């Protein structure tokens, strides 16, 4: 039946929030706010104005199968995902919507939607996780292009055409929309910045990176051009189906959630394809802070295992920087990766060094001389920060932002703690209260030599440690080493000595 004839209200009301029930309990977003909205509610057109003058010859675009995997998704968000696809895509371009129900508690959540035109429902008979579920959907897909979506999205106006156009132009382009934000509390649809791309630090956790101001300036003349991105968020993208198969789909040994976006990103770039964000394509997604579902195996372990598999297959020796940043990862077994390594050989994929130099030059690589690298953390979220100071400036603490810049330091074999060509220096010598200053590095300057001892940073051959106790007035200073909290420091990559 056409989606307009689907009985939305009885479908939604059957799983409504009960009186007195926590609205966030089941989905970790406000289900009640979602349930109140119609499945075809309007959303603001968040595209750059220039996008509306685009036009496409639909007869020349390949059709796509849309694949949505879900585990215990709220009915209202799942239905809105489906309806927004049907409602905002040229019908000729959507061959089918494949819902892969990853063993949700209630089989009817998916099954009832199979009445709707173009919707096919596949149900796993055990929990498989999103990677194997997406592969199942992809294998069943009839169209030449695969489009993966999360189960709580809303596609915006003309979201699909520019994605398919790009793939028609280049079958090795793997393309994403800009992901707009659907507020998890009130479900307001909010346009996201067009100046972001996907990246990561050595902990291999996905993050958004701002384009440099230079790059933003150069894009100003051509805001609709594809943005090449080192990493994809993972949930929303289109890819030529035969190319997806040729490059090895996903790693079927990954479970539940996480790491697969890292893996497919390395793989696509290293094996000759490219990842792009297409700014004229916009899809909203409900971002939330917690997982609403269980992690068979424990969320930390599963995520780390998946991430290790990606690192072990694709990162060559650079994986050591990951282990230096996340030492506990070494303790999680990652299983057999033989068949994934074969994909590298079969597709003659490039080394990780090539990826770093050509795709993600912004990711700082510790120099060979470094024994420790990255941010220098105190407690949970305070980091040493140059505060933008230069030569002769003091240093202080700031909330950790995990994006390098003024919070990036390295320690070398000469025992210097460097920020670019400036070194931490005991400004007034080895004495109580001596302010730590940024001065030009000089190997013969003994006031620039520090030792990591336990988690203290001690001025070499002295009994004074870097201390934040008077940070507000003086910045960081030297103070008698006494293991107090204000002397506890941890490099994000603490041990590069192997
Ligand atoms: C982001 C991605 C997500 C995925 C993940 C890393 C976006 C917008 N989202 O997480 O697609 O790449 O990072 O793995 O880029 N699901 C299952 N089975 C499971 C667990 C989840 O089918 O065992 C479904 C779930 O219902 C949802 C999708 O997988 O549709 C992604 O899960 P999520 O929305 O909890 O993840 P998210 O958005 O935090
Ligand atoms: Mn999601």
pLDDT at 298 over 90: no
Supply the pLDDT for residue 327. Answer: 86
Supply the pLDDT for residue 325. Answer: 87
Atom of ligand 1 nearest to the CA of 133: 22
What mean pLDDT is predicted for residues 464-474? 95
pLDDT at 293 over 90: yes
State the chain's mean pLDDT as an integer: 96
Give per-residue pLDDT as tens, 335-364: 999 999 999 999 999 999 999 999 999 998
Supply the pLDDT for residue 454. Answer: 87
What mean pLDDT is predicted for residues 227-233? 97
pLDDT at 224 over 90: yes
**What is d(CA 424, CA 392) in angstroms, rounded to the nearest whole number?**
10
| CA 277–ligand 2 middle distance (angstroms) | 17
What mean pLDDT is predicted for residues 185-208? 96
Side-chain-side CA neighbours of 327 within 13 Å: the count stands at 10
Alpha-helix residue ranges (DSSP H) falling in 25-100: 31-35, 75-87
Band of residue 300 on the pLDDT scale cut at 50, 70, 90: confident
Q: Is the CB of 177 under 6 A from ligand 1?
A: no
Q: Exposure pattern of 361-399 as b/e (b: 16+ CB <10 Å)? A: eebbebeeebbbbbbbbbeeebbbbbeebeeebbbbbee
**What is d(CA 275, CA 156) in angstroms, rounded to the nearest whole number?**
21
**Dmax (CA) of the chain:** 81
Supply the pLDDT for residue 257. Answer: 96
Dihedral (Cα; 236, 242, 246, 252), 10-degree rounding: 50
Using most ligand atoms within 8 A of CB, pick from 146, 238, 257 the residue to mutate for ligand 1.
257
Give per-residue pLDDT as tens, 419-465: 999 999 999 999 999 999 999 999 999 999 999 988 999 999 999 99
Atom of ligand 1 nearest to the CA of 69: 22
Supply the pLDDT for residue 401. Answer: 85
What mean pLDDT is predicted for residues 293-322? 93
Dihedral (Cα; 40, 41, 46, 52), 10-degree rounding: 50
Supply the pLDDT for residue 162. Answer: 98
pLDDT at 403 over 90: no
Supply the pLDDT for residue 494. Answer: 87
Q: Which domains does the chain have, with CATH numbers?
A: 3-286 (3.90.550.10), 369-493 (2.80.10.50)
Give per-residue pLDDT as tens, 11-67: 999 999 999 999 999 999 999 999 999 999 999 999 999 999 999 999 999 999 999
Tell me which residue has its CA closest to atom 6 in ligand 1. 258
What mean pLDDT is predicted for residues 396-407? 89
Tell me which residue has its CA closest to atom 26 in ligand 1. 70
pLDDT at 4 over 70: yes
Supply the pLDDT for residue 498. Answer: 62
| CA 438–ligand 2 middle distance (angstroms) | 44
Supply the pLDDT for residue 405. Answer: 85
What mean pLDDT is predicted for residues 225-231? 97
**What is d(CA 447, CA 429) in angstroms, rounded to the nearest whole number?**
6
Supply the pLDDT for residue 448. Answer: 98
Return residues with CB closer than 5 A to ligand 2 (ion): 150
Q: Which residue from 374, 445, 428 is spatially nearest to 406, judged by alpha carbons?
A: 374
Q: Is the CB of 150 under 6 A from ligand 1?
A: yes
């Amino acid at each position: 039946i056409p989606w307009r004839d689907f009985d939305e209200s009885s479908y939604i009301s059957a799983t409504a929030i009960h009186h007195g029930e926590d609205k966030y309990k089941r989905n970790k977003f406000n289900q009640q706010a979602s349930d109140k909205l119609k499945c075809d509610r309007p959303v603001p057109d968040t595209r750059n104005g220039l996008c509306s003058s685009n036009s496409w010859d639909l007869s020349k675009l390949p059709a796509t199968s849309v694949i949505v995997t879900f585990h215990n998704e709220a009915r209202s968000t799942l239905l809105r995902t489906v309806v927004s696809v049907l409602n905002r895509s040229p019908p000729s371009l959507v061959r089918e919507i494949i819902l892969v129900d990853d063993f949700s508690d209630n089989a009817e959540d998916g099954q009832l939607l199979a009445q709707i035109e173009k919707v096919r429902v596949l149900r796993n008979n055990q929990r498989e996780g999103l990677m194997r579920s997406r592969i199942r959907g992809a294998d069943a897909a009839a169209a030449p292009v695969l489009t993966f979506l999360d189960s709580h999205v809303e596609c915006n106006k003309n979201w699909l055409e520019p994605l398919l156009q790009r793939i028609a132009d280049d079958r090795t382009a793997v393309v994403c929309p800009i992901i707009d934000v659907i507020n998890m509390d009130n479900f307001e649809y909010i346009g996201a910045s067009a100046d972001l791309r996907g990246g990561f630090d050595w902990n291999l956790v996905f993050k958004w990176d701002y384009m440099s101001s230079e790059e933003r300036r150069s894009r100003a003349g051509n805001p609709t051009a594809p943005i090449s991105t080192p990493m994809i968020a993972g949930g929303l993208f289109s890819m030529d189906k035969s190319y997806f198969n040729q490059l090895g789909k996903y790693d079927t040994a990954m479970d539940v959630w996480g790491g697969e976006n890292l893996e497919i990103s390395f793989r696509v770039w290293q094996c000759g394809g490219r990842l792009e964000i297409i700014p004229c394509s916009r899809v909203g997604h409900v971002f939330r802070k917690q997982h609403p579902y269980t992690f068979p195996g424990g969320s930390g372990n599963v995520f780390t295992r998946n991430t290790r598999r990606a690192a072990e297959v694709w990162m060559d020796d650079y994986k050591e920087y990951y282990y230096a940043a996340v030492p506990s990862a070494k303790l999680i077994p990652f299983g057999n990766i033989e068949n994934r390594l074969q994909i590298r050989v079969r597709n003659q994929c490039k080394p990780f060094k090539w990826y770093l130099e050509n795709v993600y030059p912004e990711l700082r690589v510790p120099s060979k001389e470094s024994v420790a690298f990255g941010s220098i953390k105190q407690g949970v979220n305070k980091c040493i920060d140059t505060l933008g100071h230069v030569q002769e400036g003091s240093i202080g603490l700031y909330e950790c932002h995990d994006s390098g810049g003024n919070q990036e330091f390295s320690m070398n074999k000469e025992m210097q703690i460097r920020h670019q060509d400036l070194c931490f220096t005991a400004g007034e010598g080895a004495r109580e209260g001596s302010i730590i200053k940024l001065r030009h590095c000089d190997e013969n300057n003994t006031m620039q030599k520090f030792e990591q001892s336990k988690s203290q940073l001690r001025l070499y051959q002295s009994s004074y440690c870097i201390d934040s106790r008077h940070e507000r007035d003086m910045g960081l200073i030297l103070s008698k080493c006494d293991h107090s909290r204000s002397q506890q420091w941890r490099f994000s990559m603490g041990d590069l000595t192997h």
